[in-house]
Amino acid sequence: MKLLDEHICSLFKRHWQHTLTYWSVFFSFGLCIAFLGPTILDLRCQTQSTLQEITWVFFSQQLFLLVGSSLGGLFKKTLLASLSALLCCTFVISLVFAIIPLCNNVMLLSVAMAIAGQSMGVIDTIANRQLVKLYQKDSATVLQALHFFIGLGALVSPLVADPFLDDSCVLSANSTTNSSSSSDLESIHSSIQEVTLPKISQDPLYTEGLVITKVSYAFWIMALINLPVPAAVLALMYQERLLACSSQSQRLLDKERGQSNSVESEEGHRSLFCCCNAANVRGHPFSFIIIHALGGAIVFITDGIIGSYAGFVYTYAVSAPLLMGHKTAGYLDSIFWAAITLGRLAFIYLSCKFSPSTLLTLSLVGVILVQFLLLIFYSSCVFLFIGTCVLGLCISSVFPSMLAFTEDILDYKGCATTVLVTCASTGEMLLQLLIGSVINSQGSFSFLLLCTIASFISFCLFMLFLYVQHVHRNVHTDFSEYTEMEDKPKSGGS
């Protein structure tokens, strides 16, 4: 085990600047993915919209994150294309943070979040794929660290926003309506604690008067916090002599292309649409396709649970029977992301000691047990905080472990990274939409029930995945032996 640690350290020393850069761009990803939850009331106030209307902002972000993940493979043909895409995407995220305070209606805000979502999707595909390419069979540890930085960004985002959140952000034209504005907003917040979700979604926000909100400062601060990330990508491009101002840029770029050309042709740097091409799976056993499908289905569900839990735990907490105060309930989202961050930090070490299959089994079993306990103690505020923390710890490593495990099974010759990243983005979008609509019609308790059912399905799929993996190993071994036997007579005859 010590030899493995030394080997990973030597690889990190060789690729440290690339690795740190890809980790930093995932910090941008996390910073952008988590700010909507705690700022939703202020953004709703800023755009003077209903809760039902502001939901489209979440949908537009997740939809274009899926689009970006699907198209991310188009930028992976060369290192120059990959880093150029990362540079543009990380700078766009800072730009979106800066212009969000200027979006005074839901449509503009949805467009801004769609642009940010597409940038996040491209980042997701490229950073995962480049690290898998650099570390291959040793990628499990660095992928755990990579996804730790999502949690870190997602933890920083609510902490930056919290001091600037305000209950009263509409100022009327005269003093009479001003006082009614404040009381109306207070009644909205109190009604959130007392009514079910269907009533919340129909509850109109006071829209007459001047919008005064301090949350703009939070977005500008996050834009500044994110600016060093594109600077780091630019520095890596300069270090690799990929910029016009770098000396010998063309000669070194050609050298890099020549060294990696054979590897890239095997690894299949393709978009999702190219991966779905029948020509790319020709010559592979049927288990090759099933492994892609099952791996994608597992992260579809688990990342969907993460997105849904982060998006709706606040709504569940302020609804009956818990009826938490909105400030107290707001901490749940921060605790969840903090637990995910801490879990991924711990799994960086654990991934050196245990195989991805062991970590995945323990994680998925833990997720099911926590979900069942949350169902049993559904009326306990204290256990909701405990369960949120433990759930974040258990589910934190599923995606990076699943990605490393799948790529290892397929010998880094498939489209596992592209497929899994795209499926994870799809799961976040569709499961949030499904669970949100069910909560709206059936009440907040259905949120826990659906998450529990989804976690049980993901564990069953993983058991099937392990069986198919065993079959695939045997088929692959038999195919290799058959090929060797076919080649021997030919070589003897020649």
**Which of 7-16, 165-174, 319-328, 458-467 comes out lowest in average pLDDT?**
165-174
> Where does the pLDDT of residue 274 fall: very low under 50, low under 70, confident under 90, or very high at 90 and above?
low
Cα–Cα distance measured from residue 68 to residue 66, given in angstroms and rounded to the nearest whole number: 5
Q: What is the pTM of this model?
A: 0.72
- Cβ proximity of 158 and 35 under 8 Å: yes
> Where does the pLDDT of residue 307 fall: very low under 50, low under 70, confident under 90, or very high at 90 and above?
confident
pLDDT at 392: 93
Residue 364 CB neighbour total at 10 angstroms: 26
Cα–Cα distance measured from residue 424 to residue 297, given in angstroms and rounded to the nearest whole number: 8
- Cβ proximity of 425 and 280 under 8 Å: no
Mean pLDDT across the stretch 91-111? 91
Cα–Cα distance measured from residue 100 to residue 219, given in angstroms and rounded to the nearest whole number: 7
pLDDT at 230: 93
Residue 182 CB neighbour total at 10 angstroms: 17
Cα–Cα distance measured from residue 441 to residue 434, given in angstroms and rounded to the nearest whole number: 11
Nearest alpha carbon to residue 132 among 411, 349, 350: 411
pLDDT at 114: 92
Task: Give tens-digit pLDDT for 313-353.
Answer: 877 887 888 888 767 877 888 889 889 889 988 888 888 88
> Where does the pLDDT of residue 5 fall: very low under 50, low under 70, confident under 90, or very high at 90 and above?
low
pLDDT over 70 (residue 467):
yes
Segment holding 44, helix H or strand E: helix 36-47
Task: Give tens-digit pLDDT for 36-61.
Answer: 767 777 787 888 877 667 777 878 88
CA-angle at 309, arms to 307 and 310, nearest 5°: 65
- Cβ proximity of 256 and 240 under 8 Å: yes
pLDDT over 50 (residue 19):
yes
> Where does the pLDDT of residue 199 fall: very low under 50, low under 70, confident under 90, or very high at 90 and above?
very low
In this structure, which amino acid lies at residue 396? S
Cα–Cα distance measured from residue 108 to residue 23, given in angstroms and rounded to the nearest whole number: 30
pLDDT at 395: 94
More confident residue, 390 or 255: 390
pLDDT at 428: 85
pLDDT over 60 (residue 480):
no
- Cβ proximity of 312 and 450 under 8 Å: no
Cα–Cα distance measured from residue 94 to residue 332, given in angstroms and rounded to the nearest whole number: 26
In a 10 Å sphere around its CB, with 0-12 CB exposed, 13-18 middle and 19+ buried, how is residue 253 labelled?
A: middle
Q: Calculate what percentage of the chain has a pLDDT beyond 90.
A: 25
pLDDT at 220: 92
Q: Torsion angle, CA of 272/276/281/285, rounded to 10 degrees?
A: 100
Mean pLDDT across the stretch 105-114? 91
| Residue 299 token pair | 């992260």
pLDDT at 254: 47
Name the range with the highest mean pLDDT among 20-29, 62-71, 330-339, 414-423: 20-29
Helix (H, G, I), strand (E, B) or coil at 116: helix
pLDDT at 486: 53
First to last CA, the chain: 45
Cα–Cα distance measured from residue 62 to residue 150, given in angstroms and rounded to the nearest whole number: 16
pLDDT over 80 (residue 191):
no
Task: Give tens-digit pLDDT for 284-304.
Answer: 677 888 998 999 999 999 999
pLDDT at 171: 52
Average pLDDT across the chain, whole number: 78
pLDDT at 200: 41
Mean pLDDT across the stretch 366-374? 95
Mean pLDDT across the stretch 217-234? 92
| Residue 238 token pair | 């300069």
pLDDT over 70 (residue 381):
yes
Mean pLDDT across the stretch 201-223? 67
Rg (CA), the chain: 24
> Where does the pLDDT of residue 251 fall: very low under 50, low under 70, confident under 90, or very high at 90 and above?
very low
Helices 326-353 + 2-14 axis angle, to 10: 110
Task: Give tens-digit pLDDT for 403-456.
Answer: 889 888 887 666 788 888 889 888 888 888 888 778 777 877 888 899 999 999
b (16+ CB within 10 A) / e for 128-143: bbbbbbbbbebbbbbb
CA-angle at 270, arms to 268 and 271, nearest 5°: 155
Nearest alpha carbon to residue 121 among 273, 271, 304: 271
| Residue 7 token pair | 């080997």
pLDDT at 485: 54
| Residue 264 token pair | 């890239």
Cα–Cα distance measured from residue 181 to residue 206, given in angstroms and rounded to the nearest whole number: 7
- Cβ proximity of 54 and 207 under 8 Å: no
- Contact residues for 321 (Cβ-Cβ < 8 A; gap 6+): 378, 379
Distance of CA 456 to the CA centre of its chain: 21
- Cβ proximity of 395 and 306 under 8 Å: yes
